[in-house]
Chains A and B, each alone.
Chain A
Amino acid sequence: DVKVTQSSRYLVKRTGEKVFLECVQDMDHENMFWYRQDPGLGLRLIYFSYDVKMKEKGDIPEGYSVSREKKERFSLILESASTNQTSMYLCASSLPSGTVHEQYFGPGTRLTVT
């Protein structure tokens, strides 16, 4: 069975802290994605990665960075957390583009920055 797991379901951090969100997939997918989900705004792409050590900025990369050292793991890093980064963070993976492939999502991490 396909699985995308995220390291935490709920996380509370203080302003200015460095925050790591981890995502692991067991499907040998090349593509991995980080989104944030906010009411009324839907899903917005932060970063995606199409191969190990490869990454591209999405629509809202400011204040975030990512790391992909192994194919199955994609980390999102908040360098200095701020209250406007309080959100639900969703990780997803998919097979490479070129044909039609749906995304598989993790359960999400609800991050609160105080």
Chain B
Amino acid sequence: GDSVTQMEGPVTLSEEAFLTINCTYTATGYPSLFWYVQYPGEGLQLLLKATKADDKGSNKGFEATYRKETTSFHLEKGSVQVSDSAVYFCALSDPTSGTYKYIFGTGTRLKVLA
């Protein structure tokens, strides 16, 4: 079945450092890919998404490119802030599969130090 694999955390960075969180997927169809963020004490909220190969999703300085050839959707940010400290989830959903399911990775905790 479909699956999502994220890099293990926690990731600890200094403010203004470059961030990469790796995400790879397996899917039989043509999934859409998402990054969600969960701030402490809150539910998940959508950060960005991409619906087809080579699409780039971006929001709040974060970006990720849908790479079909490497089945990856890595999250990047050029300069992190303390306020970016959160748990980040990669997810996929295949709207053509006939199911309603979303598959989530296990999450990567990011801690940014001032």
Contact = CB atoms under 8 A, between A and B. Distances in A.
B42 A107 contact: yes
B89 A107 contact: no
B44 interface: yes
Contacts of B44: 43, 90, 92, 103, 105
Interface in B76-114: 89, 93, 95, 97-102, 104-107
Contacts of A92: 43-44
Contact of B106 (A4, A42, A104): A42
A31 B32 contact: no
Chain A, interface residues (CB within 8 Å), range? 20 to 34
A27 interface: no
B106 A41 contact: yes
B51 interface: yes
Contacts of A4: 43
Nearest to A59: B101
Interface of B: 32, 34, 36, 41-46, 49, 51, 89, 93, 95, 97-102, 104-107
6 contacts: A45-B102, A58-B101, A100-B49, A100-B51, A101-B93, A102-B34
Interface of A: 4, 31, 33, 40-43, 45, 48, 50, 56, 58, 90, 92, 94, 96-108
